[in-house]
C-alpha cells in the first residue's frame, strides 16, 4: 500500500505533530504548520490525531492511490480533484485503487493536509515522522516529495476500517464522500482582513511607546521571505528604547521577534529553538492556524488579548476537537 | 508534583517568572552569563526532571533562563485551574526548595580547529575595526580561553559559549544573512559560537571549523554537550581542506 507521487507540487512534506523533547539539543519541533487542520483530518479517517500526513503548500501534488484508501483533505482550499472531479474538503473520503488526486489554483489559505487512514508510515526519527528540511532527516529521506516517490501507508485501526466500509459501497465511480463534516469552528475561517491575536512578548516594554501603538494599530504584510521557519513581515518600523544586546534564550511557534532593522519576523513550525532578538509579542495557540494559512502578500493585523483569554481560547479549541472525536466514535457504533 | 520536597539550606537566587505565550513559562535567573548562573539552572532543571510540574512538555535551558513548555489543557485540568498560575505556583514552590549546586566538575577541553579570516571569516575585518584590534590579535584573543558550553540551541548541536574576551564583543549584523555555512564561527554581542547547519543567521563570522557538530546517526547526535569546555585551535586553509575531507 502506497501513495505514488506523479507530481510533487511546490513543497509537499510528511508532517505529524512534531518532534518534542529535543529542543535542549537544538533540534527543532517541526510538525504541521496548521496542526489543527492535520488533527481534524486524522480524526475524520479514524487515526490518532498525531498520525503523519502530507502538508501541501499552495501548488499541490498529483498523487495516485495504489490501493483502496480512506482519506480526508483539510486546511487550505487548493482546488482538489479526484479523477478530475472537484472534491469537498473536511469529508471522510473513500478512494479506490488507481484514483488520482490533483490540485488546481489556491482559493483560500496556503497549506492543505492529506490524512490517510493508517497514517503515513515513513521511519520515525527521534520519535517523529516530521520532515526537518534544513537538517535533512525525518519524513521521506528528510526532504520534500519528488516525482516517483512511493509513500508507505500504515494499517488503519478499527475506526478507520469501519468508516471506510460505510463509504465503500457508494464508491462505484471511484470515490465517495461522507455526508457529514465537522462544524465551522474546526474549519479555516477565510477573512479578507485576517486578525492574529497575540499576547505581549517578554521584551514588549522595551519598545518605544510609538512602536508599541503601531504594532497593534497598523497592518502587517507577509513578504515573499516566508517559509516553514518563519515569515518576514513588512509593517511599521519597530524601535526599542535601548540598544543593549540580548542574551540568546528560548523562542517558540508564534514568537514575533524584531531584528535591529526594525521589521518583525514571526516564527513558525521550523523555528529555531533559541534566538537573540527582542520578542515584542507572541501569537496565541488558538490562532496558529490563521497564521499558518497566510500567504505571501497577504495583509493582516495583530490584536492584543490577555494571557487568560489566550488560554481560555486554547481550551475551547481543544474541547471542540474532543467533541469531534466523540462524534466520530458514535458514527462507527451505530 | 507527587511529593513535597524537603527544604534545603541555600535557596536559588532571585528568579523572575514570566510567560512566553500561552504554553510556556520562562524562569530568568539573575546574574548575567556566569558559571554560577549555569550551575543554578542545571540544578533546577535536574530537580524538575525528577519532580515534573503538571503538564510539563519540555525544558530549554539558556544562558540565564530555563524555559518550561507545558500543555495548558493538562495544566488546567478541565478548566479547574488557570493553567499559567498553576504551573507558575508549582515552579515557585520547587524553586524555594532547590539549593544552588556546586560548579560542575572540570573536564578536559574539546579542541575545535578553526581557519580564521578570508573567505572562512568574512566579518573578521569588521570585528577588528569595531574592537580596534588588528585581525591577528582578534584571532589570538578568540583562541586563548577555555570556553564553557552553556547551552545547545538555535540549531542542532549549536553550542553557546561563555568566556569570550570582553574586548571582542561586537553587535550582530542589522539584517541576518540568508545563509551561513555549517561550521562558521561567529560573534554576537558578548557571545561566540559555531553554526552547526547551513542556516540564516546574524552573527559576525570570523572563521570556520571543518568538523561536523551534529549527525542524527550519532548517539547523542550533538558533538558538544552543555557543561563541557572547548578551545578553538587556529589552522591553515590547507589543514581545513584536509580535515574536511577526513570528515566526509
Q: Do B221 and A27 touch (CB under 8 A)?
A: yes
pTM: 0.89
Q: For residues A23 and A120, state if they share a domain.
A: yes
Q: For residues A124 and A233, state if they share a domain.
A: no
Q: Do B22 and A311 touch (CB under 8 A)?
A: yes
Q: Do A25 and B157 touch (CB under 8 A)?
A: yes
Q: Which of B173, B160, B155, B144 is nearest to B212 (CA)?
A: B155
Residues in A touching B151 (Cβ below 8 Å): 24, 248, 274
Q: Do A135 and B156 touch (CB under 8 A)?
A: yes
Q: For residues A158 and A259, state if they share a domain.
A: no
DSSP state of B118: G
SS3 label, residue A318: helix
Q: Is residue A79 part of a domain?
A: yes
- Write the CA distances from A256 to A291, A296, A307, B200, integer angstroms: 12, 17, 16, 17
pLDDT at B79: 77
- Searching chain B, which residue's CA lies closest to the CA of residue A125? B216
* Span A31-38, average pLDDT: 98
- Searching chain B, which residue's CA lies closest to the CA of residue A23? B60
A66 Ramachandran zone, left/alpha/beta (phi>0; psi -120 to 50): alpha
Q: Is residue A334 part of a domain?
A: no
Report cis status (omega within 30 of 0) of the bond before A314.
no
pLDDT at B220: 77
Q: Do A252 and B21 touch (CB under 8 A)?
A: yes
Distance in Å, alpha carbon of A93 to nearest chain B alpha carbon:
31
Q: Do A25 and B222 touch (CB under 8 A)?
A: yes
Domain that residue A95 falls in? 2-188
Residues in A touching B188 (Cβ below 8 Å): 245, 248, 276
pLDDT at B5: 42
Q: What is the pLDDT of residues A250-283, one digit of tens each?
A: 999 999 999 989 999 999 999 999 998 999 999 9
pLDDT at B167: 96
Count of domains forming chain A: 2
- Searching chain A, which residue's CA lies closest to the CA of residue B73? A315
Q: For residues A139 and A235, state if they share a domain.
A: no
Residues in A touching B34 (Cβ below 8 Å): none
Higher-scoring residue by pLDDT: A169, A49: A49
Q: For residues A6 and A146, state if they share a domain.
A: yes
Q: Is residue A203 part of a domain?
A: yes
| A275, A311, A314 ranked by CB distance to B82: nearest | A311
In what helix (H) or strand (E) does residue A68 lie, and over which residues does it extend? Answer: none
Sequence-separated (6 or more) residues with CB below 8 Å from residue B183: B194, B195, B196, B208, B209, B210, B211, B212, B213
Q: What is the pLDDT of residues A91-100, one digit of tens each?
A: 999 999 999 9
**A254 neighbors A314 (Cβ within 8 angstroms):** no
End-to-end alpha-carbon separation of chain A, Å?
29
Q: For residues A218 and A249, state if they share a domain.
A: yes
Q: Do A252 and B20 touch (CB under 8 A)?
A: yes
Distance in Å, alpha carbon of B101 to nearest chain A alpha carbon:
20
Q: Do A315 and B24 touch (CB under 8 A)?
A: no
Q: What is the pLDDT along chain B (248 residues), one digit of tens a residue?
A: 434 344 443 445 689 999 999 999 999 998 788 888 888 898 899 899 999 999 999 999 999 999 999 999 999 987 789 999 999 999 999 999 887 654 455 568 999 999 999 999 999 999 999 999 999 999 999 999 999 998 998 789 999 898 999 999 999 998 889 999 999 999 998 889 999 988 888 999 999 999 999 888 787 788 988 878 999 999 999 999 999 998 87
Q: Is residue A331 part of a domain?
A: no
A·B CB contacts under 8 A: 169
- Quote the distance between the C-alpha of residue A278 and its chain's center: 26
**Mean pLDDT over all residues of chain A?**
95
Q: For residues B95 and A249, give the distance between their C-alpha atoms in angstroms, rounded to a whole number.
A: 20
Q: For residues A84 and A172, state if they share a domain.
A: yes
- Strand-strand pairing, A299-304 and A195-200: parallel
Q: Which of A228, A69, A72 is nearest to A155 (CA)?
A: A69
Residues in A touching B19 (Cβ below 8 Å): 199, 282, 307
**A152 neighbors A121 (Cβ within 8 angstroms):** yes
| B21, B154, B190 ranked by CB distance to A199: nearest | B21
pLDDT at B78: 77
Q: For residues A50 and A86, state if they share a domain.
A: yes
Q: Is residue A87 part of a domain?
A: yes
Last residue of a domain, one of A146, A164, A188: A188
pLDDT at B103: 47
- Searching chain B, which residue's CA lies closest to the CA of residue A142? B216
Q: For residues A171 and A235, state if they share a domain.
A: no
Distance in Å, alpha carbon of B93 to nearest chain A alpha carbon:
22
Q: For residues A60 and A99, state if they share a domain.
A: yes
Q: For residues A42 and A93, state if they share a domain.
A: yes
CATH number, domain of A246, equals 2.40.100.10
- Write the CA distances from A214 to A16, A79, A209, A267, integer angstroms: 36, 37, 9, 20
Q: What is the pLDDT of residues A193-224, one digit of tens each?
A: 899 999 999 999 999 999 999 999 999 999 99
| Alpha helix segments (H runs only) across B97-208 | 124-131, 135-142
Q: Which of B22, B82, B155, B225 to mutate to test the interface with A (most CBs of A within 10 A)?
A: B22
Q: Which of A47-56, A65-74, A284-293, B196-205 has the lowest mean pLDDT?
A: B196-205
**A193 neighbors A301 (Cβ within 8 angstroms):** yes
Distance in Å, alpha carbon of B4 to nearest chain A alpha carbon:
25
pLDDT at A45: 97
Amino acid at each position: 500500500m502506497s501513495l505514488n507521487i506523479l507530481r510533487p507540487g511546490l513543497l509537499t512534506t510528511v508532517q505529524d505533530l512534531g518532534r518534542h523533547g529535543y529542543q535542549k539539543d537544538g533540534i527543532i519541533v517541526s510538525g504541521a504548520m496548521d496542526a489543527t487542520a492535520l488533527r481534524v483530518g486524522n480524526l475524520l479517517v479514524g487515526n490518532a490525531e498525531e498520525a503523519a500526513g502530507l502538508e501541501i503548500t499552495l501548488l499541490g501534488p498529483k498523487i495516485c492511490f495504489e490501493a483502496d484508501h480512506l482519506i480526508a483533505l483539510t486546511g487550505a482550499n487548493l482546488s482538489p480533484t479526484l479523477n478530475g472531479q472537484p472534491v469537498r474538503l473536511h469529508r471522510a473520503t473513500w478512494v479506490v485503487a488507481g484514483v488520482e488526486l490533483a490540485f488546481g489554483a489556491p482559493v483560500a489559505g496556503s497549506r492543505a493536509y492529506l490524512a490517510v487512514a493508517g497514517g503515513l508510515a515513513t521511519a520515525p526519527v527521534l520519535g517523529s515522522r516530521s520532515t526537518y528540511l534544513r537538517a535533512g532527516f525525518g519524513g521521506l529521506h528528510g526532504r520534500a516529495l519528488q516525482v516517483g516517490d512511493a509513500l508507505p501507508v500504515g494499517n488503519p485501526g478499527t475506526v478507520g476500517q469501519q468508516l471506510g466500509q460505510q463509504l465503500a459501497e457508494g464508491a462505484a465511480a471511484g470515490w465517495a464522500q461522507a455526508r457529514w463534516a465537522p462544524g465551522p469552528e474546526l474549519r479555516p475561517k477565510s477573512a479578507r482582513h485576517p486578525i492574529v491575536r497575540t499576547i505581549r512578548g517578554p521584551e514588549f516594554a522595551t519598545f518605544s511607546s510609538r512602536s508599541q501603538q503601531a504594532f497593534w494599530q497598523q497592518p502587517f504584510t507577509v513578504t515573499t521571505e516566508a517559509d516553514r521557519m518563519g515569515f518576514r513581515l513588512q509593517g511599521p518600523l519597530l524601535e526599542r528604547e535601548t540598544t543593549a544586546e540580548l542574551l540568546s534564550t528560548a523562542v517558540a511557534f508564534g514568537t514575533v521577534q524584531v531584528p535591529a532593522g526594525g521589521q518583525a519576523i514571526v516564527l513558525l513550525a521550523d523555528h529555531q529553538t533559541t534566538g537573540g532578538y527582542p520578542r515584542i509579542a507572541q501569537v496565541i495557540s488558538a490562532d496558529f492556524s490563521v497564521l499558518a494559512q497566510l500567504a505571501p502578500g497577504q495583509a493582516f493585523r495583530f490584536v492584543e488579548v490577555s494571557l487568560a483569554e489566550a488560554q481560555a481560547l486554547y481550551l475551547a479549541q481543544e474541547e471542540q476537537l474532543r467533541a469531534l472525536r466523540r462524534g466520530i466514535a458514535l458514527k462507527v457504533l451505530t | 508534583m507527587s511529593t513535597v520536597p524537603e527544604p534545603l539550606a541555600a535557596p536559588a537566587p532571585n528568579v523572575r517568572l514570566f510567560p512566553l505565550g500561552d504554553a510556556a513559562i520562562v524562569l530568568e535567573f539573575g546574574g548575567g552569563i556566569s558559571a554560577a548562573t549555569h550551575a543554578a539552572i542545571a540544578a533546577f532543571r535536574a530537580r524538575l526532571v525528577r519532580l515534573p510540574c503538571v503538564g510539563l512538555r519540555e525544558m530549554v535551558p539558556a544562558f540565564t533562563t530555563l524555559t518550561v513548555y507545558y500543555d495548558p489543557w493538562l495544566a488546567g485540568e478541565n478548566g479547574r485551574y488557570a493553567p499559567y498560575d498553576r504551573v507558575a505556583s508549582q515552579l515557585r514552590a520547587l524553586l524555594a526548595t532547590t539549593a544552588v549546586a556546586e560548579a560542575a566538575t572540570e573536564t578536559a577541553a574539546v579542541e575545535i580547529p578553526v581557519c580564521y579570516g578570508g573567505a572562512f571569516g568574512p566579518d573578521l575585518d569588521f570585528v577588528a575595526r569595531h574592537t580596534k584590534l588588528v585581525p591577528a590579535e582578534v584571532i589570538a584573543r578568540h583562541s586563548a580561553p577555555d570556553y564553557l558550553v552553556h547551552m545547545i540551541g538555535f540549531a542542532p548541536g549549536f553550542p553557546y559559549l561563555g568566556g569570550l574576551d570582553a574586548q571582542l564583543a561586537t553587535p550582530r549584523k542589522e539584517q541576518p544573512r540568508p545563509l551561513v555555512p555549517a561550521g562558521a564561527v561567529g560573534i554576537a554581542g558578548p557571545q561566540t559560537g559555531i553554526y552547526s547547519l547551513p542556516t540564516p543567521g546574524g552573527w559576525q563570522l570570523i572563521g570556520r571549523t571543518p568538523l561536523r557538530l551534529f549527525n542524527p546517526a550519532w548517539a547523542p547526535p550533538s558533538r558538544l554537550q552543555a557543561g563541557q569546555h572547548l578551545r578553538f585551535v587556529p589552522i591553515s586553509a590547507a589543514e581545513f581542506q584536509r580535515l574536511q575531507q577526513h570528515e566526509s
